[in-house]
Chain A
Amino acid sequence: MSELTIPSRTAVPTWVADLNNPPAPKSKQNSIPDPPGYPSSQAVSSSKKKDAAAKDSSKAAAQRKAPTGAEMDTLKVKKAWEVALGPVKSLPMTGIMMYMSGNSLQIFSIMMVWMAFKNPVMGILATNQAFERFETETNRPKILQVKVAYVLMQLLALALGIWKVNAMGLLPTTRSDWLAWEAQREPLESSVPAL
């Protein structure tokens, strides 16, 4: 108890600190506007203003030393790396699910295959959007590396989808898949039995 009371003398009580710095609310739905005066209303309202808002809104943050531009860049690149490696983190899970769903053609495996193809392709197409918020004038070369890594990771996820499709026998890789295009050999002579 004594230990607990000692800091309370030197600084503001914990509950005061908690009251002043409430935890960031979990916003579930972006479509529903927060009530007026809700603390993080500005922070969530727009991702573009987020950085600026983070700088000047929070009083607790204001107490800390504001990060420098270089630090911000490092932080952003770090964040960007996290985003870039995101797809590969879910790969084991996807792989297990794909393995479990079997190679037969049913609604589950078809949906999984669809998702396995759709997600990487959409991800690659939306590469720039995904890294827009991390990109600054200074860290562009680094972000480019991250982007390349991101695309590679998406291709890895795509490869998993292709592996699945192949396992399901949907890829025309065997001779039998092209059998229908092979023509029967025509005989040059013909005969008719009279037996």
Chain B
Amino acid sequence: MLPPQLSAFLLLALPSAVRAVFQDEVGHIDYHYELLGVPQRETTFFHRPRRDAKASLLYTLSDVGVLGAVNPTSGAVLWRHLLNSTAQDAGGFLRAGEGENWVASALGSSVHAWDAVSGRNKFWADFGGEVKDLEIMEMTENHRKDVLALFDESDSTVLRRLSGYDGSLVWEFKETTKDTPLQVSTNVEKVFVISLHGSSGAYNLKVSTLDTLTGRRLDEFVLGSKSDVHSREDVMFVGANSAAPIVAWTDDSLTKLHVNVLGTKSRQEFALPADTLAIEIHAPHLVQSQPHFLVHSKTAAGNTADVYHVDLKTNTITKAYNIPLQPGAGAFSTSSENANVYFTRITEGELVLLSSSSPDVIARWPLEAGEPKTHPVHGVSEVVKKTAGSAGAAYAVRSAVVTSNDDWVLVRNGDVAWTRPEGLTGAVAAVFAEIPESEELAKSLEQEAHSNPWAAYVHRVKRHVNDLQYLPEYLASIPTRLIASVLGTEVSPKAGKPSRDSFGFHKLAILATKRGMIYGLDVGNKGKVLWANKAFDIPKGSTWNVTGIQAHDSIGEVTIHGSNHDYVVFKSDTGKILHEGAPEAQVKTQSTAAVDNPHGAGHLLLPVGPNGDIMDIPTEWAPKKTIVTRGSAGAEDLKGVIFVPNGTVSSPLTSWTFPLPHGQRVAHIATRPSHDAVASIGRVLGDRSVKYKHLNPNTLVLAAANDAASTLTVYLLDTISGEVLSSTKYTGVDTSKTIECAMAENWFVCTFFGEYTLRDNPTQSIKGYQIAVTDLYESELPNDRGPLGDAQSFSSLDPIESPTGLTLPSAISQSYILGAPIQALQVTQTRQGISTRQVLAYTPTTHGIVALPRFLLEPRRPVGRDATPAEAEEGLMKYHPVIEIDPKSVITHERDVVGVRRIVVAPTIVESTSLVLAYGIDVFGTRVAPSFLFDILGKGFNKVTLVGTVAAIAAGVVGLAPMVRRKQIDARWKAPM
């Protein structure tokens, strides 16, 4: 006998057991970009994961806070970790000790060390304050490499030396000061802490010299004259671990470069080329390397570089040679092999290898210019000197370059080995767009629609006659298509051009990233990146705040609105930008509303300004709908805005406001999706009576959190009148955790972390991630359409009142405890809404996307008793408070999808299926069939067997027919013997 709990659990598990993604669908219906993010210049390097390893790996801590190791040969991710789950501009530090089998990273307030091969955590240490710099001490007293971490704690600078073995604290140097800690550096004997001393705008560089063994301060001095440095960005470079680490800074106008060899008090000045826009300094990080460094100056005309040598005895710096100016952008990188230091210069057309000691070019490879034209931004290189025979030394160079299109490209001896579309990370908005049909067809269809029936008919016949010229081509393609169909192979699309299919699975996914890039993915072709284009140059540190994205399928265009009054309109199939408006300095657009286009099909995006203000609109363009928007950013309220015609101009008028009660803030707002087909207006109960659904498209769910009282109130608002239709209050809610809602049809779900006091035992409570689901019905009674009865229409402004007050929908709620936190809730959409729905959600702890079937979240599940036969017929199961995240319902199956921000869904032509795209850091797309594939054949359908069987039967009939005929004739004519 099974215990009752277990059997109930098995019952729960049963329906979902068949929901698994079939093995043969993996990689066929789903696609996944396993991404790291755009590598940052300071935190990307080649490193040998073991002292005796021949091959090195490529390590990076990206701008979205993902730390990972990439195989430089194939470009495959070996391991990765999401260090920063908020996916802001990360910064962070990543260092590796030469010959060590671990790498150290620091982000926020914690320092981690990771095994270089497996990516397993070696140790981690959390401290107060923020990590400002991280270095590896190459030389210690006990032949161990230790980690130096510089922290900026409130009004003090702390340098901690952590044991490289287990992360334990070796010593700590603490200085209570108002100085801004900048960087830490070390040479063989000493540790240097560089901080900014002085007041804002007029800093001096202060160098504290510490003893490596004890962390005691040996010396402290201020470099240079008063107010030399204006901001921390002026300090260009602080070297470390070299024989003579340097610190370099510039003045505001970028005319002079000041360089100091750490440990000395003197500084040297070097003139920079005129019109220098930015400089970068590259130096080796190895003690045994020659103390050479390179200053890369970017000017408006091009880029140039100077190589400097440091004399170890006198600590003087001399300029060795100049690398001539080349037009266009370029990137330099350093690589050192023992004492030799190599510089690699990558420009748009070529890759040049130079030695630090002489200006002669060692090797030169031409680079093929790709389309679209991109230029290198920064890169890292690894130079290997091959002792070839008589021909002299040969060099092999591998450079991992970040391009202006946010791609990460590995160039091996001038050939592109792989390209990773790392720019897909940090996606902020996405939309599915139909593949545009040929313009000619669209035009002629439009023409037919506008002419009179006879002319349209003639036109159509002419068009079809004209189409006959494609018939031979079509007929010729039939055999290949037939064979491909029978064998189940893919028909290769015509020359890379995506085309629609009869199932509606082939669509375009348009992504906009925070770096101002736009991408077009071919959903039908495993999510291949069709095009990538830069919409705007977003300055480093800020993000493209997309307020609205809208696909216009009839004309094949996509519009994106940004928050700074910027917009871009581009072709969905090529990414070609048709027109755009550059971002302005102030935030001008709070959000956008997709309003009907009065002069054509589709929707237009209407920008809503700050405080929910909308400009006056010409009356013919004025939307007829109520626009629901947030009020000012600080105040927690919602309002509805209608347009009142006033002559030729319509001006906005606030029709209702909904201010939240004091102490509550808007945690999340969910609306019904724009495509929310309802197949049936009622639910048929087990006794064949009907519970009518409350289907009001003008509703939204507002989750309001009260941080002080730890409560969550969920309001259901009518967006025409602003009336509260239903509200629920949950107590004991952790408002700092994710609170999200989703809405569809006549129900909504909200997830939050809360404490639930048991009803039968008030001393006990359950803490956990909960999901609360609410169904809305017209009436509590079956077979009752509510007070409106059989009315054909309803108006929120003219509600029916009953003696007890306003008539409200009957809400049935139920809460479940979830096995894991979920976020990015989304409800599947199908074409006609006949299929059941699933709630898709990202599980951040297990890096997967789970599909919770709607019948599991049913609020009418009987509590405390088994379902009656009538209820069982309806599909209701006994209520079980816990919903475990069944691995079989995880649509990402074994894939590790990191950092999903949002999930978008789109219906297809076949009713059973819904397209899914998840974005954030990774990009993952798949198809889900909540009620199974009832209208198409799966991959398991064996056409070969079917066709073979039919052919065998046909052959049998043909073969046996003469025999049977002869036997029948014999039976008539031959006398029995």
- Which of B192-200, B468-476, B679-687 forms part of the interface with chain A? B679-687
A187–B797 touching, CB < 8 Å: no
Given known pairs A185-B792, A187-B794, A187-B795, the reply for A175 and B626 (CB within 8 Å) is no
B688 is an interface residue with CB less than 8 A from chain A: yes
A19 is an interface residue with CB less than 8 A from chain B: no
- What residues of A have a CB within 8 angstroms of the CB of B431 in the complex? none
Nearest CB in chain A: distance from B848 CB, A = 28
Segment 489-538 of B: residues with Cβ below 8 Å from A = none
The answer, among A184, A185, A191, A193, for a CB contact under 8 Å with B720, is A191
A188–B795 touching, CB < 8 Å: yes
B710 is an interface residue with CB less than 8 A from chain A: no
B606 is an interface residue with CB less than 8 A from chain A: yes
Separation of A188 and B700 alpha carbons in the complex (Å): 17
A194–B793 touching, CB < 8 Å: no
Separation of A65 and B922 alpha carbons in the complex (Å): 108
Nearest CB in chain B: distance from A148 CB, A = 36
A192–B720 touching, CB < 8 Å: no
B374 is an interface residue with CB less than 8 A from chain A: no
B772 is an interface residue with CB less than 8 A from chain A: no
B226 is an interface residue with CB less than 8 A from chain A: no
Nearest CB in chain B: distance from A80 CB, A = 43
Separation of A195 and B595 alpha carbons in the complex (Å): 13
- What residues of A have a CB within 8 angstroms of the CB of B623 in the complex? 192
Separation of A169 and B630 alpha carbons in the complex (Å): 51
A194–B591 touching, CB < 8 Å: yes
Segment 146-190 of A: residues with Cβ below 8 Å from B = 169, 174-177, 179-180, 182-190
B272 is an interface residue with CB less than 8 A from chain A: no
B413 is an interface residue with CB less than 8 A from chain A: no
The B interface is mostly helix, strand or loop, or mixed, namely loop
Nearest 8 A/B pairs, CB to CB:
A194-B593, A174-B688, A191-B626, A191-B719, A176-B684, A188-B795, A194-B629, A186-B793
12 A-B pairs, CB-CB below 8 angstroms?
A174-B688, A175-B783, A179-B684, A187-B794, A188-B793, A190-B625, A192-B625, A193-B628, A193-B700, A194-B628, A195-B629, A195-B671
Separation of A155 and B697 alpha carbons in the complex (Å): 51
B628–A179 touching, CB < 8 Å: no
Separation of A195 and B590 alpha carbons in the complex (Å): 8
Separation of A180 and B630 alpha carbons in the complex (Å): 38
Separation of A189 and B687 alpha carbons in the complex (Å): 35
Separation of A14 and B335 alpha carbons in the complex (Å): 131
Nearest CB in chain B: distance from A160 CB, A = 22
B680–A195 touching, CB < 8 Å: no
B626–A190 touching, CB < 8 Å: yes
Given known pairs A179-B684, A185-B791, A189-B796, the reply for A195 and B689 (CB within 8 Å) is no
B188 is an interface residue with CB less than 8 A from chain A: no
Separation of A183 and B790 alpha carbons in the complex (Å): 9
Nearest CB in chain A: distance from B925 CB, A = 25
The answer, among B684, B688, B719, for a CB contact under 8 Å with A193, is B719
Q: Which residue of A lies closest to B628 (CB)?
A: A193
- What residues of A have a CB within 8 angstroms of the CB of B795 in the complex? 187-189
Separation of A192 and B629 alpha carbons in the complex (Å): 9
Given known pairs A186-B792, A188-B795, A189-B797, the reply for A195 and B783 (CB within 8 Å) is no
Separation of A188 and B626 alpha carbons in the complex (Å): 12
- What residues of A have a CB within 8 angstroms of the CB of B797 in the complex? 188-189
Separation of A186 and B792 alpha carbons in the complex (Å): 6
- What residues of B have a CB within 8 angstroms of the CB of A179 in the complex? 680-682, 684, 690
- What residues of B have a CB within 8 angstroms of the CB of A186 in the complex? 792-794
B696–A175 touching, CB < 8 Å: no
Separation of A55 and B794 alpha carbons in the complex (Å): 83
Given contacts A186-B793, A190-B624, 11 further A-B contacts (CB under 8 A): A175-B690, A175-B783, A188-B794, A190-B625, A190-B697, A191-B625, A191-B719, A193-B627, A194-B608, A194-B628, A195-B628
Nearest CB in chain B: distance from A39 CB, A = 35
The answer, among B591, B606, B791, B793, for a CB contact under 8 Å with A195, is B591
What 1/0 flags go to B689-730 for Cβ under 8 Å of A? 110000111101000000000000000000110000000000
Separation of A174 and B697 alpha carbons in the complex (Å): 28
